Structure 1
Amino acid sequence: MTEGVKRQVEAGLVYAVHQDQHGLRSSRITTQDGRLYLHTLQSQPAPLRAHTIQFTDVVGALDCSSTLVFLDLGWAGSTRGRVHIRLSPDTPRGRQFTLLCTGQRGHTYANTNLLEVCYKGREWERVKGGDYQYNDGRGGASLLPDLR
């Protein structure tokens, strides 16, 4: 990345834009620790003075054998940590997880609740959450026809 582009990203002036049945949406592109981060699509246009690129150009450039996604975890109105997850998008669950992180199909993990911690402190520790349908653990709708 050139110094000029790096300064634009660091200043919050680079956005990816996407037009589909959900309307015009935009996604911030930020940098942290030398990594570029594509945030979830929001139902708003990019700021007027922002530099924009097509969302599909960014997502299309991803290595399809392995995708690194992130979830910002927060409570009490502020972000408390970022969890990175490496996915295999050649599986239905991996594809759906990526779609929910990016918001490409409209639904997203943004503002969903963490519902439970399982096996805390033991092997296979995990959290349950991300119910984008009802946000209370009852949801289970699939974005993809080959995933139940």
Structure 2
Amino acid sequence: MGFLDYVSELCDCDWHLWYSSKKLKKHKQLQTVEIKVKMDCEGCERSVKKSVKGMKGVTQVEVDRKMSKLTVIGYVNPKKVLERVRYRTGKKAEFWPYVPYDVVPHPYAPGAYDRKAPPGYVRNVLDDPQYSSLARASSLEVKYTTAFSDENPDACVVM
């Protein structure tokens, strides 16, 4: 038995298991994180962009000051991105709460319509249990609205 064998038995290091456990570690998925942050000037825009630019896993950062929207693309955790923006800028930040107007069945239902929303967007109420019942059409409503629709071939032609 040589000196190296003796030392390797003392250390009892199994490099093969260590390497394979590192290799099997799950990788994060590519995600798009949209955050609403109020920005008034170019300085605010720069500080918001700079706050997430150096994060590990970030591949692309886009800032739309007019819509107060920050878009981060990369292999990141959305909660960590949100916390980082809040911590580094000191501004109130939240996940992007709006969806396009066409996605919500009743965009003017209470809770869906938001005056602060950008043009063509309403609040995403389909995920919120408090307002989701108001934003969805019941079967009775659908029945009556399609009875007088031009798209329905069996519709009433009273109009």
Q: Same fold, TM exceeding 0.5?
A: no
Higher relative CO (CA 8 A, sep ≥ 6), structure 1 or 2?
A: 2
TM-score range, shorter chain: under 0.3
Structure showing greater radius of gyration is: 2
